[in-house]
Structure 1
């Protein structure tokens, strides 16, 4: 037999093998996970690969394959070396007596606490296959929504980059050459503004770069403070255009996670606190924490959520009705499904509106530069004709 054990020392690994009535022939240290080049920490395994693993594990368990055998097969078939290594360690931990959830909990870079909590509930309740399938579907939906957002923003980002590059090129290389021709002219105010900006970009680019670097460091440092985090959380929800979309994405994530946890047998208080940690916004997390405290005191879930003024009234009404009819788990997932489709349409409309606005802005900038350069040239030509 060959395999991997998690132990403090080679001697501890040999003792673990002896307890399993196995005689170690060779014990050697191996890397426990791939390292990130930038951070040096454990490299996070992509959600798509983890989703496929959950789905395959659920299929094998439904077919009657034991957990250990299923983990061994999937570790051998995993395309990603990091995932294969993690699955081998999970297999060894389960073989050593750990539950599947406990074994996965040793690898937070691969399996999030949310997934581990749901799998633990499935193990205790005897519906592990159903939980794995639901977690796989949950990850797939989250990845689809993220892919739609990233895909929708690619073209505007390219457009902004190209437009900014064109403006910098004109200001840095074209304007200085024209300025030599107009050095003796009485320049209008727009032309003076363009020439001043051109001087800053072409002659003082080092100072500009230093100021931008200091400004970026100051902004990042501010957003790492408690006040900055609160300000950023407020901006995420209230920002023009993208704010309502971000809010609905966060609410959909909360509803889907909360509903999925409830459907998998996790108690409402524990489910609320798990969903709070994965909400992604401090204001929303505080509202959910207040709701958890309210539920813990035997009160309703809806009033503290309404006080946050983040949840739409229609969503709150549906949650209130579902809470009274004891169908909260099903209704929350239905809310997430419906709102995700509406959010995708809102995102598409926002991007379609953003593209012409960006074109108009960059066109106005270039037109301003052109007019600022053409006016003194026309004045010089008119003076020459006279």
Structure 2
């Protein structure tokens, strides 16, 4: 259910306005037609949290949102709700990126297109593997089952991604602490070593001289040092995919990545074959989806 703010006028020109809780704008319009003569406006009332999420939403859809979308759509189709009506209900509880896509899908469905054909226009959200499974479900009359399979697939994929992020959290924390410790050593402890060498009239070693020189330059030109650090961080972030490819080529990591790609390929292939797609097409689509 969604809260809508409406405005209407009577035959005499008197203005009426208020709020109405409904599933869609069409339901609000039907209510107003029964009680008033002219409808001047219907708009959706968004909460503060929804506005904030829409403001910071980058337009991307993660696997958890895809899994929830397909799961809810399959449940609605299983309860006998028509496809367009199900998408109308879903767009009120989806992220902003999926809300816009739902509106476009509804327009295409009302124009007579199939769901798979409508999804092909949104490659950034619905991958070719997803479209192929949806198309097979439509042709075989098992669309609800295929939507449930996609929900399970994206749910398992999200669990794997979350597991990988969790196991990478500790190394990242250790690396961050090491960087902070190194900065504290350079700023606080390094001058003490320099004073100690000077008190004994000793010449600092070459590594110590280099570190002292770097510290002196960093302290004297700290603005340039901060700018250089930010630039290096930005450059590494922009080149993160190239760095990831380089890391995937390392001997130990390459073996685990190959195993992961084989598991994902077999999972996608079994999903496509279960949906009724022929073996050659399934292999080609699964290979494209596992790349």
Tell me if both proteins adopt one fold, taking TM over 0.5 as the criterion: yes
Show the counterpart of 1:104: 119
Show the counterpart of 1:269: 280
- Secondary structure of the residue aligned to 2:91 is helix
Matching of residue 172 in structure 1 with residue 187 in structure 2: yes
Aligned-residue CA RMSD in angstroms? 3.5
> Within 2, Cα distance between the matches of 1:117 and 1:149?
28
Show the counterpart of 1:10: none
String of CA shifts for 1:197-243, please: whole Å, max 9, x gaps: 2422442574797599579859977x99xxxx7x975751x425433
String of CA shifts for 1:294-339, please: whole Å, max 9, x gaps: xxxxxxxxxxxxxxxxxxxxxxxxxxxxxxxxxxxxxxxxxxxxxx
- Secondary structure of the residue aligned to 2:59 is coil
Show the counterpart of 1:157: 172
Q: Which moved more, 1:95-104 or 1:61-70?
A: 61-70
Which residues in structure 2 correspond to 1:201-350 (within 5 Å)? 201-204=215-218, 206=224, 210=228, 233=245, 235-236=247-248, 238-280=249-291
Please, which runs of 5 or more residues in structure 2 have no aligned partner? 1-23, 27-38, 41-52
Matching of residue 49 in structure 1 with residue 48 in structure 2: no
Please, which runs of 5 or more residues in structure 1 have no aligned partner? 4-24, 27-33, 281-386
Aligned residues: 240
String of CA shifts for 1:91-135, please: whole Å, max 9, x gaps: 121011010111122222332222111101110111111110111
> Within 2, Cα distance between the matches of 1:89 and 1:218?
37
The answer to whether the 8 Å contact 1:172/1:202 transfers is no
Question: Alpha carbons of 1:98 and 1:171: their partners in 2 closer, same or farther (altered >3 Å)?
Answer: same
Which residues in structure 2 correspond to 1:32-43 (within 5 Å)? 43=59
Question: Alpha carbons of 1:160 and 1:123: their partners in 2 closer, same or farther (altered >3 Å)?
Answer: same
Question: Alpha carbons of 1:198 and 1:271: their partners in 2 closer, same or farther (altered >3 Å)?
Answer: farther
Shift of 1:69: 2.0
Tell me which protein shows more strand as a share of its residues.
Answer: 2
Among 65, 68, 73, the alignment partner of 2:84 is 68
Shift of 1:35: 9.0
- Secondary structure of the residue aligned to 1:106 is coil
Show the counterpart of 1:373: none
Tell me which protein shows more helix as a share of its residues.
Answer: 1
> Within 2, Cα distance between the matches of 1:208 and 1:241?
35
Show the counterpart of 2:17: none
